[in-house]
Structure 1
Amino acid sequence: MSRKPSPMPRIKLRLEYPNPLVLGPGKADLLDGIDRLGSISAAGREMGMSYKRAWSLVEEMNAAFAQPVVDSSRGGSGGGGAVVTQAGRKVLAHYRALEALLRNRGAEDLAALAAMLRD
């Protein structure tokens, strides 16, 4: 009987720092969205989260890193907005590099684990 190859798992990297900060796929995707959309609320909406939740995650990251990762301005007649700072882009680049490292260098181990799964 021919065994169908198991699909590769989705890697969800979760970094837990003691300061405290948990940096995972949700915060990384939120930073991506803010960078692309220029808005915390729009990025949160796109991810299906409330503005309050998105803002809370941004505040958590800004408090944990030595430099803010997102700079925001309040709304009003001219509208508000948010930008991912240079530090935020570096955080995101390092996080994505770690994901790629696990996917690429860990491919053999991931395949071995997948081969051990039940059909």
Structure 2
Amino acid sequence: MSSSSKGDLRTFVRIDFPDKERLGPGKMQLLEHIRATGSISAAGRAMDMSYRRAWLLVSALNTMFATQVVDSQRGGKQGGGAVVTEFGEELLRRYHAMQQRVDTALTSDFEWLNSNRRHS
């Protein structure tokens, strides 16, 4: 996600697809948690969301693209699990690069906004 070094002003890249699907910081954060935990349910818990909500977001990501973003297995003897695919890793990398370019492009505007803000 975005982290502007210009005060507490922040930008977030959100891409609205023509079919009403959205790609933004929440889904990217969920992917990062899945990568870290290997679990959709653990990733959801880390974000204070239900397993169902996390699963629906993963399902939405997987249907947005021609290639799967997350590969998951149901529980069983070996237990369930989830992994961010190679495509998902590239998606994360590109999303963060887009966010960085936006933040860089807006640096002088952030400085101007901050210098003209009423600080409490």
Q: When the two structures are superposed, what TM-score results if normalisation uses the length of structure 2?
A: 0.89
Instruction: Indicate the residue corresponding to 2:53 in structure 1.
Output: 53
Instruction: Indicate the residue corresponding to 2:26 in structure 1.
Output: 26
CA distance in 1, matches of 2:78, 2:10: 41
Question: 1:84: Cα distance to partner?
Answer: 0.3
Amino acid at match of 1:7: G
Instruction: Indicate the residue corresponding to 2:3 in structure 1.
Output: none
CA distance in 1, matches of 2:20, 2:61: 10
RMSD: 1.3
Which runs of structure 1 show a deviation greater than 4 angstroms over 4 or more consecutive aligned residues? Answer: none
Render the CA deviation track for 1:74-114: whole Å, top value 9, x for unaligned.
Answer: 00121010000011111111110011111222211111122
Instruction: Indicate the residue corresponding to 1:74 in structure 2.
Output: 74
Question: 1:8: Cα distance to partner?
Answer: 3.9
SS of the counterpart of 2:53? helix
Instruction: Indicate the residue corresponding to 1:10 in structure 2.
Output: 10
Question: 1:19: Cα distance to partner?
Answer: 2.9
1:112 matches 2:119 = no
Amino acid at match of 2:61: M
User: Which segments of 5 or more consecutive residues in structure 2 lack a partner in the other structure?
Assistant: 1-5
CA distance in 2, matches of 1:25, 1:98: 12
**Stretch moving more, 41-50 or 11-20:** 11-20
1:101 matches 2:106 = no
Question: 1:13: Cα distance to partner?
Answer: 1.6
Q: When the two structures are superposed, what TM-score results if normalisation uses the length of structure 1?
A: 0.89
